[in-house]
């Protein structure tokens, strides 16, 4: 398997150097060139022939979104990773970029320790590069010329035949999702009806601020109401709650109400928020009246929580392998024989609504 060829595009010489140092620590990838502007980056595409571009989202002349669109118009195979600030404006731009074909995003470090910043960047980049490398290799093995990550596979699924087993009455839906999640949610959440008779709580692995932008974008494009959850928020039917980044989200019972409780405990499965934390909390208060859904993502966060929900009598759906950007989290649940149904992304929202209504 050949190394990934990486081009770095950032108007800051300091960040171009920092990203280059970070990439030197990433196996199976090498920096083939840099560019201080989007226009120069586009001129270099043919000569450098990168298959990965690290792209700053805020630059003079051409901004990151314009450069992303131009790269994708020229070569859909190039995987673009957005390099972002950590303010709300940057978060909104990132959400737009992910919807237009970016693989993922990496927040710019804010500390003054250059060595520590490079190490943190290399750890984040290594995970994304591993996904790109795996997907690229699988596509080449198939002889597939379709676009690479992060495009959610647009397959024509065979007519879906749900199993004859019927779940108990469902009173809450909980969803765990990670890599490839924003685009998958962008496709799935708008298919949920506004009249859904239960609340939906989602853990999407994301840093603070970005989850608020994700909730805002999903709410704008969906019939069902979508909000970022907050401590003390009472769950209501027909509302989707996105767990905020940087803290764990739990559901607790207060009298007759079910309430969001934020927890600033340590990361679980190296994640904060963690799917397992949410899933375990709903198992405690809803017993088996739960529909758990595990979607595209790296790792196995959600496996233990899904097991607890199943032990209580809950129902579990996993996103089908062929429609995942990364089949890590669903695969862990499938291998443990916890999934009642493996559902393609294209009909996942419809299937959730059918199981509830």
**Helix or strand or coil: residue 308?**
helix
The mean pLDDT of the chain is 90
Provide the percentage of residues in the chain whose pLDDT is more than 90. 74
- Structure confidence by residue, pLDDT tens digits, 49-97: 999 999 999 998 899 999 999 999 999 889 999 999 888 889 999 999 9
Give 163's pLDDT tier (boundaries 50, 70, 90).
confident
All structural domains of the chain, each given as residue ranges with its CATH number in brackets, are: 4-142 (3.40.50.2300), 172-356 (3.40.50.180)
More confident residue, 137 or 155: 137
Per annotation, catalytic residue among 301, 320, 334, 340: 301
Please say if 205 is a catalytic residue: yes
Q: Rounded to the nearest 5°, which phi and psi values hold at 225? A: -75, 135
Per annotation, catalytic residue among 205, 229, 320, 334: 205
Q: Which pLDDT does position 144 carry in this prediction?
A: 57
Per annotation, catalytic residue among 84, 148, 178, 229: 178
Give 113's pLDDT tier (boundaries 50, 70, 90).
confident
Give 167's pLDDT tier (boundaries 50, 70, 90).
confident
More confident residue, 226 or 166: 226
- 39-44's contacts with Cβ under 8 Å and 24+ in sequence apart are 41/7, 41/9, 41/67, 41/71, 42/67, 42/70, 42/71, 42/74, 44/7
What is this structure's pTM?
0.89
The answer to whether residue 142 scores a pLDDT higher than 70 is no
The answer to whether residue 149 scores a pLDDT higher than 50 is no
Q: Which pLDDT does position 156 carry in this prediction?
A: 55
Residue 202 sits at the vertex; the CA angle it makes with 251 and 80, to the nearest 5 degrees, is 150
pLDDT average, residue stretch 296-310 = 96
Please say if 178 is a catalytic residue: yes
- Structure confidence by residue, pLDDT tens digits, 175-189: 999 999 999 999 999
Q: Which pLDDT does position 132 carry in this prediction?
A: 87
Closest C-alpha to 198, from 218, 168, 221: 168
């Amino acid at each position: 398997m050949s190394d990934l060829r990486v081009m770095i595009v950032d108007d800051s010489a300091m960040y171009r150097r920092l990203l280059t140092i970070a990439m030197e620590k990433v196996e199976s990838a090498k920096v083939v060139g840099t560019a201080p502007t989007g226009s120069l980056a586009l001129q270099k595409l043919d000569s450098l022939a990168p298959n990965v571009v690290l792209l700053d989202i805020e630059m003079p002349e051409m901004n990151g979104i314009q450069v992303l669109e131009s790269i994708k118009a020229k070569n859909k195979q190039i995987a673009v990773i957005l390099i972002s600030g950590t303010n709300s404006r940057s978060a909104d731009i990132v959400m737009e970029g992910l919807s237009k074909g970016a693989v993922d995003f990496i927040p710019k470090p804010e500390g003054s320790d250059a060595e520590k910043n490079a190490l943190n960047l290399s750890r984040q980049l290594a995970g994304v590069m591993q996904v790109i490398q795996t997907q690229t290799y699988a596509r080449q093995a198939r002889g597939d010329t379709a676009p690479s990550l992060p495009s959610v596979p647009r397959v024509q699924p065979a007519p879906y035949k749900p199993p004859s087993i019927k779940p108990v009455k469902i009173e809450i839906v909980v969803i765990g999702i990670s890599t490839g999640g924003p685009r998958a949610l962008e496709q799935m959440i708008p298919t949920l009806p506004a009249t859904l008779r239960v609340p939906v709580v989602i853990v999407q692995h994301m840093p603070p601020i970005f989850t608020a932008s994700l909730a805002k974008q999903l709410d704008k494009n969906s019939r069902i109401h979508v909000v970022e959850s907050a401590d003390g928020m009472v769950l209501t039917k027909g509302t989707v709650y996105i767990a905020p980044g940087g803290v764990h989200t739990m559901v607790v019972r207060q009298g007759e109400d079910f309430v969001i409780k934020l927890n600033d405990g340590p990361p679980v499965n190296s994640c904060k928020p963690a799917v397992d934390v949410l899933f375990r909390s709903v198992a405690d208060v809803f017993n088996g009246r739960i529909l758990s859904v595990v979607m595209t993502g790296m790792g196995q966060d959600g496996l233990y929580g899904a097991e607890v929900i199943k032990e209580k009598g809950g129902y579990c759906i996993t996103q089908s392998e062929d429609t995942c950007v990364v089949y890590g989290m669903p695969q862990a649940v499938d291998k443990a024989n916890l999934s009642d149904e493996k559902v393609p992304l294209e009909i996942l929202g419809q299937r959730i609504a059918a199981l509830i209504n």
